[in-house]
């Protein structure tokens, strides 16, 4: 003989608030669990996981780039979390999940996305939290990539900048100094300015030394093949090509790019001037730039080191 359990509206309401699931799904779960609230919640999680599994094959091309810098500036994290539509990318639950994951990455410093997904977040793993959010929101969600900078030396700081237009781009920068600065806030402000520059100018390399001979040769080959050089004498052609390649590479090297807030000086000169004001020598050790939808793998970052 089957047991019929009376499910009150308040029970359904409480389960909906905790799970975020649809009202009818909450009622069905409570009936199936014979009124046991915790069991009903577990049933919803199981069904949510099944639902999430079905959605996992759907493409995720929207989302957010989120990040965090610790109060002391020693650790910075950058995470790209994807969803299917721009509407969900602006959903409060999705945004909150992204911020939680970025904060967790900054505090626990996982080596890659796989390690991040296994970390505990509010009593469950990040993977489980993502699965539950998929069930609530109804779209596939994935954590695409991660960068964590943990200062290797005591002198220095990190900076973060997230583009204000929908969080589609973000960067973190690590600065190293030869000695401690009197006012860390001043150095942190410089690091944030440089992170903003990275988002705006999108450098490919940190310094000229990071450019491979293969890249340089490829650029030379392209320039040599241009029609306007066909009738030039070899020595003149070589001089023009060298100048063009040098200019092109300078546009892609962070230290040589015109600083976005003052194009009359390069990033290197801007940093040198700021360092002099603070009584230190400063240099950018590395940076990471995430642009939503870039085709990097889950753990890849646009990073360069001196």
- pLDDT tens profile 140-177: 999 999 999 999 788 999 999 999 767 899 999 999 99
131: phi then psi, degrees, rounded to nearest 5: -60, -45
Same fold for the domain at 9-55 and the one at 62-207+253-303?
no
From residue 50, give the alpha-carbon distance in Å to each of 43, 56, 161. Answer: 11, 10, 37
Note the pLDDT of residue 249. Answer: 87
Write down the pLDDT at residue 60: 63
Q: Per-residue DSSP letters for 125-194?
A: EHHHHHHHHHHHH-S--EEEEEEEEE-SSSSEEEEEEE-TTTT-EEEEEEEEESS--S-HHHHHHHHHHH
H or E segment and range at residue 78: strand 75-83
> 36-40, 52-56, 183-187, 290-294: which has the minimum mean pLDDT?
52-56
pLDDT given for residue 54 in this prediction: 58
Mean pLDDT of the residues in the chain: 88
Residues in the chain: 306
Secondary structure of the chain: what % helix, strand, coil (to 5)?
A: 50, 20, 30
Task: Report pLDDT digits (tens) over 137-148.
Answer: 888 999 999 999
Choose from 9-13, 15-19, 50-54, 278-282 the range with maximum mean pLDDT: 278-282
**Which H, E and C letters describe 82-108, residue by residue?**
EECCHHHHCCHHHHHHHHHHHHHHHHH
How does pLDDT run across 176-187, given as a tens digit for each residue? 999 999 999 999
Radius of gyration of the chain from its Cα atoms, rounded to whole angstroms: 25
pLDDT at 4: 67
Model pLDDT, residue 299:
31
Domain boundaries, the chain: 9-55, 62-207+253-303, 212-250
pLDDT at 301: 38
Rounded mean pLDDT of 250-268? 95
Contacts of 105 (CB under 8 A, 6+ apart): 68, 77, 79, 116, 146, 148
List of residues 6+ apart from 93 with CB closer than 8 A? 20, 133, 136, 137
Q: What is the pLDDT of residue 297?
A: 38
**CATH number 3.30.479.20 is the correct assignment for the domain at 62-207+253-303:** yes
Number of neighbours of residue 189 by Cβ within 10 angstroms:
14
Cα-Cα end-to-end distance for the chain: 75
Question: Percent of the chain at pLDDT above 90?
Answer: 59
Instruction: Tell me the C-alpha distance between 140 and 187, whole Å.
Output: 40
Give the whole-angstrom CA distance, residue 132 versus residue 137. Answer: 9
Angle 37-55/126-137 helices, nearest 10 degrees?
80
Q: What backbone torsions phi and psi does residue 155 show, to the nearest 5 degrees?
A: -90, 120
Of 173, 116, 124, which is closest to residue 145 (Cα–Cα)? 116
Name the superfamily (CATH) of residues 9-55.
Ubiquitin-associated (UBA) domain (1.10.8.10)
Q: Average pLDDT of 45-53?
A: 62
> Which residue has better confidence, 3 or 68?
68
Task: Please check the confidence at residue 284 and state whether its pLDDT lies above 70.
Answer: yes
- Lowest average pLDDT, out of 18-22, 235-239, 248-252, 261-265, goes to 18-22
Q: Which residues contact 139 (CB under 8 A, 6 or more apart)?
A: 55, 58, 60, 83, 84, 85, 88
């Amino acid at each position: 003989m089957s047991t019929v359990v009376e499910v009150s509206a308040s029970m359904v309401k409480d389960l909906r608030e905790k799970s975020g699931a649809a009202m009818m799904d909450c009622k069905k779960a409570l009936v199936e669990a014979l009124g046991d609230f915790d069991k009903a919640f577990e049933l919803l999680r199981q069904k949510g996981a099944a639902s999430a599994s079905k959605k996992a094959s759907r493409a995720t091309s929207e989302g957010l780039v989120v990040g965090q810098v610790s109060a002391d500036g020693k650790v910075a994290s950058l995470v790209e979390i994807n969803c299917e539509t721009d509407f969900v990318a602006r959903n409060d639950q999705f945004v909150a999940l992204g911020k939680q994951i970025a904060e967790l990455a900054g505090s626990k410093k996982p080596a890659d996305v796989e390690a991040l997904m296994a970390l505990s977040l509010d009593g469950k793993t990040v993977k489980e939290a993502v699965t539950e959010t998929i069930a609530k929101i109804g779209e596939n969600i994935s954590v695409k990539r991660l960068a964590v900078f943990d200062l290797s030396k005591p002198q220095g700081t990190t900076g973060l900048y997230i583009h204000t237009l929908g969080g589609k781009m973000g960067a973190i920068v690590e600065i190293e100094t030869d000695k401690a600065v009197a006012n860390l806030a001043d150095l942190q402000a410089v690091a944030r300015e440089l992170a903003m520059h990275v988002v705006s100018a999108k450098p490919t390399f940190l310094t000229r030394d990071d450019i491979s001979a293969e890249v340089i040769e490829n650029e030379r080959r392209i320039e040599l093949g241009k029609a306007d050089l066909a009738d030039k004498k070899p020595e003149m052609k070589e001089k023009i090509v060298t100048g063009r390649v040098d200019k092109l590479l300078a546009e892609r090297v962070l230290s040589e790019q015109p600083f976005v807030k003052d194009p009359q000086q390069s990033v290197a000169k801007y940093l040198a001037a700021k360092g002099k004001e603070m009584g230190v020598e400063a240099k950018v050790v590395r940076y990471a730039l995430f642009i939503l939808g870039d085709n990097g793998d889950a753990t890849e970052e646009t990073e360069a080191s001196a």
